[in-house]
Amino acid sequence: MLLLSTFVVALAGLGGAKPLSDKRWNDVSVKHRWVEIPRGWEFHSTPPEDHLLEMRIGLKQNRLDELVSALYEVSDPTHDKYGQHLSKEEVDALVAPHPDSVEAVESWLQYHGINPADAEFRSAGGEWIVIRVPVAQVERMLDTKYGVYYHAASGSSVVRTMEYSLPTELLSHIDVITPTTYFSTLRSMRATSFLQPQTAPLEDAASFATDISPLAVPASCGTTVTASCVRALYNTTNYVPAATATNKLGIAGYLQEYANDADLQTFFKQFLPNAVGTTFTHVQVNGGLNDQSDPGVEANLDIRNQFAEAISFPTPNIYYSTGGSPPFQADSFTPSNTNEPYLDWLNFILNSSTIPQTFSTSYGDDEQTVPEDYAVSGGFWYVMTNLFMQLGARGSSIMFSSGDEGVGGGNCQANDGTKKVIFQPAFPASCPFVTTVGGTTGVNPTVAVSFSGGGFSRYFAQPSYQTASVTPFLNALGTKFAGLYNATGRAYPDVSAAAEGFQIVINGRVSGVAGTSCSSPTFAGVVSLLNDFRISEGKAPLGFLNPLFYSTAKSGFNDIVSGSNPGCGQTGFTAGTGWDSVTGLGTPDFLRLQALLP
């Protein structure tokens, strides 16, 4: 199957030579360079020379093509290997770098006085090496100068460089080094939820705890979404999980957002009384915290979503609180500051022997925050996409919210110097190896919510699993929006779920919340039940979902045929019959999907 865009990385010319005696490391080439400071950031100051960076070196994976093939074999419901997911050890073997790459990188480190055996972290497959190095030394190694850059909109400060170089010999051995020129951080990213003060909280929430018949979902569920509403909307009301000893649902949290135990119990009392007393597991990753005195909107929305739980209960849920996004303070006592916690979370999960069968994450950013030559091959997004692929190969289903900006937020100008206005796809929503969830609103009819993120990647080619579904949409679109989007790119969202009017508990009070952060964990709750059903029958979990959803399970979705996702000064795409770039294949019907499983 077509995996990534076939654009070839265009490496820049030779950079300035370092005053090194060893010619092996003296010949350097630019790995990546920004022409101008990425939009939204400004240079603030020069970091102290002894400021420590956690330098992450991503080595090229020697058998990646085999991993891609294996993923599609175990994910294609018509293949005889469907469901035969790879073990951790098998995945590790496929992502391991070639011995020549290991030798070259370790020799380079030793040349700079770094003992590879002293690495802070080495992934099980050996494709990641993490070392803690002062800024001054990193500058010598990468032939660059770092600065402290400030992002006014988020209040985030990071230590980054405008360009970096590598010895030419290492270009064929190293995919990416961070932190370098990737500026966006989770703090500058958008958490895809927002409060809805205009949505009055329920005064008598307990009266909404009664199950609703899927055959008669009241119109009120279109504006005031409760636990009973989502169970009825997606036809899960009468399903009782049977594989709770094995099946688990994981929620990834960042930005000092903490899932609050007390609020969860209040939510249960109000909306799901039979779950009162149920707890969830807190897992802290890379300095992530669990401050019960400071609950977050995003975390409370996500964990057991308070709605993922409404659907998946009593399936065990795990909330991963991942650190790695502290503001930079310009002094020598500041701890390392990478601000790329996605890598920390993914490496933590992939280094675990047992992992949840279902995941949901609700953060994202514009795809163009990394230029194409840095994203498609040998860059941060490229590496991230490969990590998601590893999760799928091991049998996990990964949901991401599609974003809350329609076809793009802000002025939508390209960051390639042209300032051309184009639709702005989001990442990780545009990753080919995740299931991206858009947003809907209303009941009878259910329509696309106007902020539902959707579009076409400019970095990743359209995978063949979705071509048959996407082509009719493109044909009907014709020349409309020509030049504003990439018609050959990976199309998203894949599916959708309700996205506004959700009643959650924050600081003990019921509040209204909206966003595709509502959609993703809600959809994940449905997937968790599908995994429960498979496991209870002695079968493997679903793993990577898209090849199944776009083929034999396509009729398990409720088609959404109206609504649009405006942005960038345009009306945006319009929902219609079949797949569309607003609501994807539609919203799930659990019982129909259950009957369609292999």
Please tell me whether residue 208 adopts helix, strand or coil conformation.
helix
Is 379 annotated as a binding-site member?
A: no
The residue assigned the tokens 């009941």 is: 443
Question: CA–CA separation, 86 vs 90, rounded Å?
Answer: 6
Is 395 annotated as a binding-site member?
A: no
Instruction: Tell me which DSSP letter residue 266 carries.
Output: H
Is 398 annotated as a binding-site member?
A: no
Tokens at 20, concatenated: 């090194």
Provide the strand spans (E) within 60-102: none
What would you report as the CA-atom Rg of the chain, rounded to the nearest whole angstrom?
A: 23
Q: Which of 77, 74, 105, 86 is nearest to 171 (CA)?
A: 105
Task: Give the sign of the dihedral formed by CA 16, CA 19, CA 20, CA 21.
Answer: positive
CB of 436 closer than 8 Å to CB of 402: yes
Q: How far is CA 463 from CA 270, 430, 431, 544, 587, in A?
A: 43, 11, 10, 13, 21
Tokens at 216, concatenated: 């008669």
CA dihedral 576, 581, 584, 585 (to 10 degrees): 40
Taking every pair of C-alpha atoms in the chain, what is the biggest distance, in angstroms?
Answer: 78
Tokens at 168, concatenated: 């030419």
CB of 125 closer than 8 Å to CB of 383: no
Q: Which residues are catalytic?
A: 298, 302, 517
Q: Which of 211, 215, 230 is nearest to 502 (CA)?
A: 230
Per-residue DSSP letters for 160-201? EESEEEEEGGGGGTEEEEESSS----TTTSEES-EE-TTSPP
Q: What are phi and psi of 147, to 5 degrees?
A: -140, 165
Tokens at 320, concatenated: 């991963």
Residues in the chain: 598
CA–CA–CA angle 203, 205, 206 (5° rounding): 130
Residues 6+ apart with CB under 8 A from 238: none
Is 580 annotated as a binding-site member?
A: yes
Residues 6+ apart with CB under 8 A from 357: 247, 248, 249, 395, 396, 397, 528, 531, 535, 541, 542
Question: CA–CA separation, 464 vs 455, rounded Å?
Answer: 17
Per-residue DSSP letters for 83-108? T-PPPHHHHHHHHPPPHHHHHHHHHH
CA–CA–CA angle 579, 523, 517 (5° rounding): 100
Please give the annotated binding residues for Ca(2+), written as ranges.
Answer: 559-560, 578, 580
Please give the annotated binding residues, written as ranges.
Answer: 559-560, 578, 580
